[in-house]
Structure 1
Amino acid sequence: MPKDMRGKLKLSKSVLEMKFMKRSKMKAQAEEEAIEGSTMYSNNISEGMKNAVEKYVFEESYIPFENLIVGRLSFGGMNPEIEKLMTIPQHRPTPVNKEMDKDVSDEEMAKYSATLAQTVAKKFSNSSKRQRKKMKFLKPKEE
């Protein structure tokens, strides 16, 4: 009998076409598709993705996704300092500073949201709507 890549025995097509072998056929097809998918995307899937530990990957810049080069370039020894910098790997995680992320302090944000809530409440309150005058029919003046 023929064997697949993993050394496992493979059933022939005629045996798999038999009525009582339908489940085995579906299982064999699913295994083949899984193997094809894993070989196709093996270079794009990280270990964290395979173990399903990390659902999301956060990247601050789109540069690694587009395979772009950051900064200045130099070729042929025109600018040796830049060429030294080009040899250093560019992708380093940036440290996160929580104080630097805040543009508005928590107290200011709380005060702003309170006044905003009051403003919105005033807008939608029914008591401040102005009363409309009732329109009356005016008779034309006789001349």
Structure 2
Amino acid sequence: MPKDMRGKMKLSKSVLEMKFMKRSKMKAQAEEEAIEGSTMYSNNISEGMKNAVEKYIFEESYIPFENLIVGRLSFGGMNPEIEKLMTIPQHRPTPVNREMDKDVSDEEMAKYSASLAQTVAKKFSNSSKRQRKKMKFLKPKEE
């Protein structure tokens, strides 16, 4: 069998062309592309860049940074339609208050989650494992 650049054994092309080897062929191609890409950019990319998590947020517009208003302006009554729109206050996102009031108490939430867990458990349990209500003998009614 031929060996690749790393000395690792690889399958021949004729074997990879067989119908049942399509997944292996795709995997081998992906590995080759990954190796080529890493060798091509290995001198430009440091280890810190490879392991870095996104630390930046990209904003397409500079309007939020400059606190600009969006739209057209009119002064001195030149365009009354736009002046009507200018009187409407611009919506600014308000900062989220993390200490908001609770709608549901902790005890209620605990009860709800416990009952929900039981309901889901009942749904997925086998019918043989479920507890069935015992049927009682009913006396016939005397008329």
Q: Which of the five TM-score ranges fits, normalised by the shorter chain?
A: 0.3 to 0.5
Say if 1:99 and 1:61 are closer, same or farther in 2 by CA, change over 3 A. Answer: farther
Relative to structure 2, which stretch is displaced further, 1-10 or 98-107? 98-107
Q: What does residue 43 of structure 2 align with?
A: 43
1:8 aligns with 2:20: no
Pairs aligned (count): 143
Say if 1:140 and 1:52 are closer, same or farther in 2 by CA, change over 3 A. Answer: closer
CA separation in 1, counterparts of 2:20 and 2:127? 77
**Secondary structure at 2:100 match in 1:** helix
Cα distance, 1:43 vs. partner?
A: 1.0
CA deviation vs aligned residue, 1:92-138 (integer Å, no higher than 9, x gap): 99999999999999999999999999999999999999999999999
Q: TM-score, normalised by structure 2?
A: 0.37
Structure 1 spans left out of the alignment, 5+ residues: none
**CA contact 1:74–1:83 (8 Å) conserved in 2:** yes
**CA contact 2:122–2:130 (8 Å) conserved in 1:** no
Q: How large is the Cα RMSD of the aligned pairs?
A: 13.5
Structure 2 spans left out of the alignment, 5+ residues: none
Identity rate, percent: 97
Say if 1:18 and 1:92 are closer, same or farther in 2 by CA, change over 3 A. Answer: farther
**CA contact 1:4–1:10 (8 Å) conserved in 2:** yes
CA deviation vs aligned residue, 1:30-88 (integer Å, no higher than 9, x gap): 00000000010011111111113465599999999999999999999999999999999
**Secondary structure at 2:26 match in 1:** helix
**CA contact 1:49–1:55 (8 Å) conserved in 2:** no
Relative to structure 2, which stretch is displaced further, 126-135 or 17-26? 126-135
CA separation in 1, counterparts of 2:124 and 2:8? 72
